[in-house]
Amino acid sequence: MQPARTDTTTSSLTKLGARIKGFGPVLGLIALCIAGTLLNGDFATIDNLMNVLTRTAFIGIIAVGMTFVIISGGIDLSVGSMAALIAGCMIYFMNQLAMGMGGDLAPITMLVLGIGMALVLGAGFGLMHGLLISKGNIEPFIVTLGTLGIFRAVLTYLADGGALTLDSTLSDLYSPVYYTSVLGAPIPIWIFLIVAAAGAIILNRTTFGRHVQAIGSNEQVARYAAINVDRVKIATYMLLGVCVGIATVLYVPRLGSATPTTGLLWELEAIAAVVVGGTALKGGEGRIVGTVIGAILLSVISNILNLTSIISVYLNAAVQGVVIIAVAFLQRGRK
Amino acid sequence: MSVAVRFEAICKDFGPVRVLHGVSFELSPGRVYGLLGENGAGKSTLMKILAGYEAVSEGQLLIDGQPQRFGSSRAAEAAGIVLIHQEFNLAEHLTVAQNMFLGHEKTRGWLLDEKTMHEEASRYLKQVGLDVSPATKIRDLIVAEKQLVEIAKALSRRARFLIMDEPTATLTSSETQRLFAVMAQLKADGVTILYISHKLDEVERNTDEVIVMRDGRFVTRELTASLTRQQMANLMVGRELSDMFPAKVPLAADAPVLLKVDGLSVPGWSNGLSFEVRAGEVLGFAGLVGAGRTESFEALLGLRTRSAGTISLNGKQVNIRTPREAMINGMTYLSEDRKGKGLHVNLGLRENLTMMTMERYARPWLDLKQEKAALAKAVDDFNIRTGDQGSRARMLSGGNQQKLALAKYLHSDPRVIVLDEPSRGVDVGAKRDIYFLIHRLAAEGRAVIVISSELIELIGLCHRVAVMRAGTLQTTLGAEHLTEEELIAHATGTH
């Protein structure tokens, strides 16, 4: 005797419901865009959209890495501080090279070395997080709360409380990375797209991605299924670290300096983008596409506030906060 | 004062799976009932409905002739019905008295009235014959004491109908005797007791009447005195036992030893465990809960620390530190805890099946088509019944989940297979499928180790059964010596 299946209409209904829920962020984004267009004619211009997307790129790239960490059941609160410290170290290092430590190196080589250092630092910080969390067996929340403080304090110390500013020759050479357009779109947008596409492929079509989901879904089951849980966890934090590195590499040419307020509250925006995109904070499942849409949605909100005067732009974070809580409310009960 | 209970055509669905199919019977007050049934028969679900933990999908529950729908366990408690769970509902960090009055604290004004609660707690503890201070923290009690605290707590809530789910599973025999004395006392006080157990000898000695359920249906009720234990077993299984098990194939005299374990010790669990199992052999492991069987095998796979012991696979000594190394060496272990350790219930069937052997499908991008084909084949081979191969594992019934778990752990084609409680929580049909699968695996020349608490299963399946007690191997019985009495005697140390 097998347990009988009750009528199948209920299950197809729930499936339809799940599908609509999956499109929730997209529908929200479309609604916002329509509202934005109606409120201000400037919203729907190519210039404005490119501007929004370029600003989204930093948070978006970090959010892609954050998606992996959150799906695996972890969290990283330090990404904003990490970006600031990487930016500071990168500028400090390149300035040292420019001031003579680099000898006869061409400026472009100094730039490449600086970029390389940013990525290596990101991976290194991620490795440190991963080791403390997996081998050290400390809650991710605690580890990254600690480094959130450490990273920003070290940057403030390096900048002596002020700003670290990039050497002007290098700065002139570097700024096109942020300001130049390729095939009609600024470089950061292209990098964001590449990172997101790579993230989606890694998450859905590789052994590593599958293991990330397995660990977040149930770590114990993953351990019994011969998965090297520690190694996968460390890799997710390193991946996020590299994403922070990439975001920083794109961010530095924008202003050419790092200050104690660089990257402030980026962790909130990145985590919010992941959650708004439909990834469960307790891990197990999530989608990169959702995260991308979540990140865009959040910056569209702030853009609309900037363009219109219905709600003060000072309340930007408050509106985003309401959106996050509303999304969480809609997702509640999903197990 | 007493509670009369009547089930009328109770149905219960979990998602698309119906686990109770119109169960009807009635229980009159002041008696001790034994509720019998295999794992997955629906006993626990029915009792959870009675105690307010689950809502009925169809049908109704009558208490003293009045239709009732308990919205919570608290509502059932108010009607005098209390369920004592297999895994207790006690807050480990609180004291005995705090637990007994949890959610029902006595107050004086805005403050807790500790004094009255202590006095009352002492009174109920005395009633169940437990001699500890109400100020003792729960975590400092042994399992048997926690059980008695649960009963005292039920009494403090004026329980008139006590449901006990496998209360003796983790008790020693003297503790069990004490529990039965308490039960007799409660019965004399007019409390109705419904007692769920697999231990037929205890059911025989302590109940007035037995009710048998199978596959979510009420089967029959009989006065305990009118049944033999053999008849009870047959009623539970619903067919002659001989039909459940394939005939054992005698071992070839020259069958090679595939796994040899020497002096395995696991701190806190087992000491100096040695055994070997040959190709084509089914070796059973019997023992009480806490005898160290599961823990020993988890240590063998590197899931726990072992302090001593050598392992040889296929005649070659190996050092296994992780489940992955075990798998590479051809050994696999399926946990008894299907939802906690065996399967990702929230992932799809396909993801579960290939989880341990991803390298076969990654080159380097996962070949989803090949994965799907593998799932289709496994569904066929293992007779997994599912409406939709794209659904999640949690949508399957217990038996089909177990078949999926088996498919997952056998997907790497292991030579030595350790199955911990392979038929726990599955219906009779799936059970039979699993027994025939185990038989087939052995016939293919693999070595199969079955850890089980169901003696009938060990006797029906195994060439030999190793019996463990308190972390040491007591004896290994050959097929000709396999009887329930013999196994129990060694497992409890009364041989």
- Taking an 8 Å cut-off on Cβ atoms, the answer to whether A218 and B16 are in contact is no
The complex scores an ipTM of 0.82
Q: Does B362 touch chain A (CB under 8 A)?
A: yes
Alpha helices in chain A (DSSP H): 9-39, 46-71, 79-96, 107-134, 140-158, 168-174, 176-179, 187-205, 207-217, 219-224, 229-255, 266-276, 288-307, 316-331
Q: What is the pLDDT of residues A12-24, one digit of tens each?
A: 555 555 555 567 7
- Of the three residues B240, B264, B287, the one that is the final residue of a domain is B240
Shared domain for B117 and B138, answered yes or no, is: yes
Beta bridge partners of B62: B6, B67
Task: Provide the residue type at A35 as one letter.
Answer: A
* Residue whose tokens read 């202003």: A255
B397 touches chain A (CB under 8 A): yes
Residue B17's closest CA among A333, A1, A335, A17? Answer: A1
pLDDT (average), residues A26-43? 86
Residues in chain A within 8 Å Cβ distance of B388: 11
Which among B37, B43, B39, B40 is positioned nearest to B23, based on CA atoms?
B43
Mean pLDDT (whole number) for B24-47:
88
Q: How many CB pairs under 8 A join A and B?
A: 100
Contact residues, chain B, for A4 at CB < 8 Å? 18, 21
Strand partners, B220: B212
Tokens of B229: 């234990």
A218·B303 Cβ contact <8 A: no
The residue out of B214, B240, B266 marking a domain boundary is B240
CB contact under 8 A, B366 and A224: no
Q: How far is B365 from chain A (nearest CA, A)?
A: 5
User: Chain B partners of A284 at a C-beta cutoff of 8 Å?
Assistant: 346-347
Query: Over 80: is that where the pLDDT of A335 sits?
Result: no
Count the domains in chain B.
2
- The single-letter DSSP state of residue B250 is P
Cβ neighbours of B15 in A, within 8 Å: 11
Dihedral over Cα of B394, B397, B398, B401: its sign: negative
Q: By mean pLDDT, which of A194-203, A312-321, B297-306 is the weakest? A: A312-321
Are A126 and A241 in contact by the 8 Å Cβ rule? The answer is yes
Does one domain contain both B222 and B292?
Answer: no
- pLDDT reading at A136 higher than 60: yes
From the CA of B351, how many Å to the nearest CA of chain A?
A: 8
Cβ distance B324 to A284 less than 8 Å, yes or no, reads no
- Residue A7 — very low, low, confident or very high, per pLDDT cuts 50/70/90? very low
Find chain B residues with C-beta within 8 A of A221's C-beta. 340-344
Segment B403-410 mean pLDDT: 96
Same domain as B469, residue B333? yes
CB nearest B397 (choices: A2, A220, A284): A2
pLDDT tens for each residue of B259-271: 999 999 999 899 9
Pairwise CB contact (< 8 Å): A210 & B355: yes
For residue B364, say if its preceding peptide bond is cis, omega within 30 degrees of 0: yes
How many other CB atoms are there within 10 angstroms of residue B429's CB atom?
16
Residues B227 and B264 in one domain: no
pTM of the model: 0.80
Q: Are residues B258 and B216 in the same domain?
A: no
- Picking from B206, B240, B274, the residue at the C-terminal end of a domain is B240
B293 and B391 part of one domain: yes
- What pLDDT shows up at residue A22? 62
Higher pLDDT, B106 or B241: B106
Residues of B within 8 A of A211 (CB-CB) are 358
Q: Residue A81 above 60 pLDDT?
A: yes
Q: Domain check: are B324 and B381 in the same one? A: yes
A191-236 pLDDT per residue, tens: 999 999 999 999 999 999 999 999 999 999 999 999 999 999 999 9
Chain B partners of A222 at a C-beta cutoff of 8 Å?
A: 344, 355
Tell whether B390 lies on the interface with A, counting CB pairs under 8 A.
no
Q: What is the CATH classification number for the domain harbouring B324?
A: 3.40.50.300
**Are B150 and B254 members of one domain?**
no
Task: Kindly list the domain boundaries of chain A, sorted by start residue.
Answer: 44-265
Contact (CB<8Å) B327/A226:
yes
Chain B residue closest to A8 (CA)?
B16
| Residue B390 three-state SS | coil
Asked whether the beta carbons of B7 and B81 are under 8 A apart, the reply is no
Give me the pLDDT at residue A101, please: 74
CA distance A41 to B460: 79
Q: What's the whole-number mean pLDDT along residues B282-295?
A: 90
Using the predicted structure, report yes or no on whether residue A102 has a pLDDT greater than 80.
no
| Residue of B16, B19, B216 with shortest CB distance to A5 | B16
Q: What domain range is B273 assigned to?
A: 243-492
**Is B344 close to A227, i.e. CB distance below 8 A?**
no
Residue A333 has pLDDT above 70, yes or no: no
Same domain, B159 and B254: no
pLDDT tens digit sequence for B186-234: 898 889 999 888 778 888 888 999 999 988 899 999 999 999 887 887 8
